[in-house]
Amino acid sequence: MAETLLEVSGLSRYFTVGKRKTLKAVDEVSMTMRRGETLGLVGESGCGKSTLGRTIIGLYEPTAGTVRFDGATVTAGRHRELALRMQMIFQDPYTSLNPRMKVSDILAEGIDNHRLARSTADRSQRIVDLLESVGLSQEHANRYPHEFSGGQRQRICIARALSVRPDFIIADEPISSLDVSIQAQVVNLLQDLQREMGLTYLFIAHDMSMVRCISDRIGVMYLGSLAELASSEDLFAKPLHPYTRALLSAIPIPDPKEERGRRRIMLKGAVRSPIDMPPGCKFASRCECRKDICLADAPRLREVEPGHFCACHDV
C-alpha cells in the first residue's frame, strides 16, 4: 500500500482575466497519493479543488509544476496509456451523459476508442459486466439517459469511467446533486468498487461529513493552496489550521441536543477574490489568530506531526 501512485509537486494553474489580471486558481500545491488510498479534497466554492483535479488529470495544462503518475509525467497532450489509467466522474450526471446515446453506446465509447474488446461478443459482455458492477442490469443497456433517475445516471457515469479499467479515478463532487439516501448508495458503491478493483480515488467534495466516510486522508484547500492535509481521524480529532477549525465548526450536526450546546467559530465575511491577491497568508483577512507575519509572508505547508501537514504561522 505504501507505493506512490501520484506525485504532485509545486503545481500551479493560473488564468488570465480581464487586462493582465491573474487568477491563481491553483497555487503551488504539492502532495502525493499512495496506490489504493482515497484522498478527500474539501474547500468552499472557488477554492480551486476542481481545477486541481482537472490539472492533475491533464484537462488543463499546468502553469508551473509537475504531475507524475506511476513514474510518468502527465501533460495535457498525454499519451494513450495514461488516458486509460486515469478517469474522471463529474458532479452533474444530467449534463455529463449524451442524451442521444444509448447507455450501451455510452459505455462502449471508451472500449471502442481504445480497441479494448477482442470481439463483438466480448464488447457486449463487457457492457453487461459494467452495468452489473454498478448495480444496474442488462436490460438498462438499451435505454437512454433521460429514462434514469439521478442516482442511476451517476452509476452509469461510474460504469463509463470503469470501462477502460483505470487505476485512478478523480470524482469531482460525484454526489452533490443527489438526495441523501441516494448519496449513501453511491458512496457505498464507490467503496465496494475500490475494494474489488484496488482503485485509487481523489474525491473532491464540499460536504465534510461525506468526505470523512470515504477518505483515508483529507486535504483542505483555501484559495488555491492546501491549508491542511492529514489522515481523516487526525483532521477531525485535532484540526490545526484556523480555517479547518472554522470549517468543521460550521457544519450543522443532525442532533438537536448537540446543536444547542455548540459554540461556533463564526467566520466574518466571505472568501476573498482570488484575483491579484496581496502577499501573505490567504486566510489572513478572516483569521481569528492573525499576526503581523501573516500579512507579510505566506506560510508554507509543512509536516507538523508525522503525516499531518499544515500551512500556518501560528501552528
Partner 1 sequence: MAENNAAVLSVENMSVSIKTDSGIVRAVRGVSFSLNQGETLAIVGESGSGKTMTCKGVIGLLPPGGTIDGGTVKLNGLDVTHAHENTLRHIRGSTISMIFQDPLTSLNPTTPIGRQIEEMMLLHRPDMNKQARKARVLEMLDLVGISNPHERVKQYPHQFSGGMRQRVMIAIALTLSPKMLIADEPTTALDVTIQAQILELMKDIQRKTNTAIIIITHNLGVVASVADHVAVMYGGRIIEEGNSDDIFYRRKHPYTQGLLDSAPKINRAERRLFSIPGSPPDLVNPPEGCPFAARCGSRMKVCGAYQPPPIRFNGEHSAACWLYDGRAVRKEAGSNG
| CB nearer partner 1, residue 52 or residue 247 | 247
Binding status of residue 285 toward partner 1 by CB under 8 A: no
Binding status of residue 71 toward partner 1 by CB under 8 A: no
Interface mask toward partner 1 for 210-229; x: CB under 8 A: x-xx----------------
User: Which of the ranges 19-27, 50-58, 137-145, 265-273 carries the binding residues for partner 1, by CB under 8 A?
Assistant: 265-273
Binding status of residue 145 toward partner 1 by CB under 8 A: no
Name the minimum Å distance from CB 251 to partner 1.
5
Binding status of residue 187 toward partner 1 by CB under 8 A: yes
DSSP state letter for 216 = S
| CB nearer partner 1, residue 122 or residue 179 | 179
Name the minimum Å distance from CB 260 to partner 1.
9
Binding status of residue 259 toward partner 1 by CB under 8 A: yes
How far does CA 115 lie from the centroid of its chain?
29
CA distance 31 to 50: 16
Binding status of residue 258 toward partner 1 by CB under 8 A: yes
> Which residues between 79 and 138 bind partner 1 (CB under 8 A)?
none
Cβ–Cβ < 8 Å for 75, 58:
yes
Binding status of residue 248 toward partner 1 by CB under 8 A: yes
CA distance 29 to 43: 14
Task: Return the closest-CA partner of residue 42 out of 27, 32, 28, 52.
Answer: 52
Does the CA dihedral 153-159-161-167 come out positive or negative?
A: positive
Binding status of residue 141 toward partner 1 by CB under 8 A: no
| CB nearer partner 1, residue 16 or residue 45 | 45
What's the burial of 16, exposed, middle or buried (CB within 10 Å: 0-12/13-18/19+)? Answer: exposed
Binding status of residue 244 toward partner 1 by CB under 8 A: no
Binding status of residue 304 toward partner 1 by CB under 8 A: no
Choose which of 17, 250, 293, 296 interacts with partner 1 (CB under 8 A): 250
User: Any idea what the Cα angle at residue 170 is, between residues 131 and 155, rounded to 5°?
Assistant: 20
Choose which of 44, 70, 92, 109 interacts with partner 1 (CB under 8 A): 44
Choose which of 16, 119, 137, 181 interacts with partner 1 (CB under 8 A): 181
The region that residue 280 occupies, defined by phi over 0 for left and psi between -120 and 50 for alpha, beta otherwise, is: left
Characterize 265-301 residue by residue with b for buried, 16 or more Cβ atoms within 10 angstroms of its Cβ, and e for exposed.
Answer: eebeeebeebeebeebbbbbebbeebeeebeeebbeb
Cβ–Cβ < 8 Å for 31, 5:
no
Binding status of residue 254 toward partner 1 by CB under 8 A: yes
33 strand-pairing partners? 6
Name the minimum Å distance from CB 72 to partner 1.
32
Name the minimum Å distance from CB 208 to partner 1.
6
Give the ranges where the chain is alpha helix by DSSP (H). 49-57, 80-85, 103-113, 120-133, 150-162, 180-197, 208-214, 232-237, 242-250, 256-260, 292-296
Footprint on this chain of partner 1 (rule: CB under 8 A): 44-45, 149-152, 179-185, 187-188, 191, 206, 208-210, 212-213, 232-233, 236, 246-259, 264, 266-267, 270-271
